[in-house]
Amino acid sequence: MIRKILYRLFPHPQLTFFLLLIWLLLVNNLTVGNVVLGLILGVLIPGITQPFWPNRPKVARPLKAAQYILLVLWDICVANVAVARIILFKTNANTHSQWIVVPLDLRSPEAITVLAGTITMTPGTVTAMLSADAQHLLVHCLDSEDPDAVRDEIKHRYERRLKEIFE
């Protein structure tokens, strides 16, 4: 009974939490009134938009997710330096750009979305397309001698961790 009421009240608990957080960041003023107003928004908006998202996406291990975000932030800094060096010190004829196909082990749409975003933000790779059955990812690599190594790094460094977080 209580579970049912809680489910009706908070159809998406993560969304409620993030709406509260975004409201506090937006008003830039941490007072009790603003927390209450943020909570009201966090209850009203998921309640109204509930028909648009019937399923509840689940995050199995939130702590690992935080760890993953830190890892990606560090990789973004490394990626910037790597791309900067390619732009500044390599001639166009000397950079070997190519397409890479990454086979996916992930199945949940949220995990695939996060993986695609991560690939775009990290060293020299951009996600271009997903195959029609969502089992392969087409990645464009700015400069690589060995495409297999890049594919293995994506699978080992990011996909393995996302599998732990989401499944």
Partner 1 sequence: MEIFAEIVISLMLVIGGLFGLLGSFGLIKLDDTMRRLHAPTKATTLGVGGVLIASMLYFAVFMGDVSYHELLITAFLFITAPITANFVAKAHMHRDVKERDLPRTGGRYGWAGYDEIGDEEQPIDTK
Give the binding site for partner 1 (CB under 8 A).
22, 25-26, 28, 76-77, 79-80, 83-84, 87-88, 92, 95, 97, 99-101, 103, 116-118, 120-121, 124, 126-133, 135-136, 138, 140, 142
Q: What are phi and psi of 10, to 5 degrees?
A: -120, 80
At its nearest, how many Å lie between partner 1 and the CB of residue 101?
A: 5
Cβ atoms within 10 Å, residue 165: 19
Residue closer to partner 1, measured from CB, 6 or 95: 95
Residue closer to partner 1, measured from CB, 28 or 55: 28
Gap between the Cα atoms of 135 and 152, Å rounded: 16
At its nearest, how many Å lie between partner 1 and the CB of residue 4?
A: 33
At its nearest, how many Å lie between partner 1 and the CB of residue 110?
A: 13
Gap between the Cα atoms of 90 and 84, Å rounded: 10
Gap between the Cα atoms of 123 and 82, Å rounded: 7
